[in-house]
Amino acid sequence: MAGDKGPRRAPQEAVRAVREDIIRGVFAPGERLTEDALAARYGVSRVPVREALRVLEAEGFVEAKPYVGVFVRELSEAEAEDLLELRSVIEPMCAARAARNRTPEQLGRLKELVSLGWDAVRDGRLEEVPRLNSRFHEVIAEASGSEVLGQMIRQLSQKIAWVYAVGLTLRAEDSWREHEEILAALSAGDADRASALLGQHILRATTAYRRRVRTEAGDPIG
């Protein structure tokens, strides 16, 4: 079906696709995902889909019950806060390393992302912002030079994007202004400043998230 040009590697793409669909809200929390439906959706067999679902289970996006099926996980407000707090301690650590190890190529990608983020915010394409946000933080993780750390941050970042996207998108302008400052510190190789800025950045994001959740409802994030 949709296998227009997908040449010879389906499962890795399937993971990305399903994960993005979950983050974008195409699949709602609690929803059951049937292997057949996903297979048809992506024009592949059930085997790659199964592998993708197992990966997503390991990453914490879905929950699988044996002989029953997989369901999109529902994040409680408490868990969302845990994610944010977790990031608030990990990211500064990561930023300090990134300021020392970042390559010019990575700086270039960060600059491009900041530019794209600004454009998206300015043009009101808010649905693209969480994804760009994730990628900004993922590149920083990559720039830290630690494969292990990078993988952790990557997963964490994607889940944060999910938390935000499930609710709404806001605080976009401030966020990207702060991204710009972080980029400057990284560019200058100033580890302390990069670490401090990122800590501040996460703190503000957390505060904004809490305020929004409080005012909107007391419900689970879903």
Partner DNA sequence: GGGCGAGGGAGTGTATACGAGAATGGTGGG
Partner DNA sequence: CCCACCATTCTCGTATACACTCCCTCGCCC
Site for a second copy in 36-65 (CB under 8 A): 47, 50-51, 54-55, 57-60
Q: What single-letter DSSP state applies at residue 63?
A: E
Q: Is 90 in the site for a second copy (CB under 8 A)?
A: yes
Given 17, 64, 170, 184, the residue binding DNA (CB under 7 A): 64
- Minimum distance between the CB of residue 22 and a second copy, rounded to whole angstroms? 15
> Which residues fall within 8 angstroms of residue 132, CB to CB, at 6 or more apart?
113, 116, 117, 120
CA atoms within 13 A on the CB side of 213: 22
Q: Is 67 in the site for DNA (CB under 7 A)?
A: yes
Q: Which one of 44-52, 104-112, 130-138, 191-199 is the stretch in contact with DNA (CB under 7 A)?
A: 44-52
Q: Is 25 in the site for a second copy (CB under 8 A)?
A: no
Q: Is 36 in the site for DNA (CB under 7 A)?
A: yes
Instruction: List the structure tokens of 58.
Output: 């390991």
Letters for 4-33 (x = contact with DNA by CB under 7 A, - = none) are ---xxxxx---------------------x
Sign of the torsion angle spanned by Cα atoms 48, 68, 33, 78? negative
Instruction: List the structure tokens of 66.
Output: 């044996």
Evaluate whether 38 touches 186 at the Cβ level (below 8 Å). Answer: no
Task: Count H helices and E strands in the chain, helices first.
Answer: 9, 3
**Three-class secondary structure of residue 19 per DSSP:** helix
Given 40, 149, 170, 191, the residue binding a second copy (CB under 8 A): 149
Evaluate whether 21 touches 61 at the Cβ level (below 8 Å). Answer: no
* Binding-site ranges for a second copy (CB under 8 A): 9, 11-12, 47, 50-51, 54-55, 57-60, 66, 73, 75, 78-79, 82-83, 85-86, 89-90, 93, 145-149, 151-152, 156, 159
* Binding-site ranges for DNA (CB under 7 A): 3, 7-11, 33-36, 43-48, 50, 64, 66-70
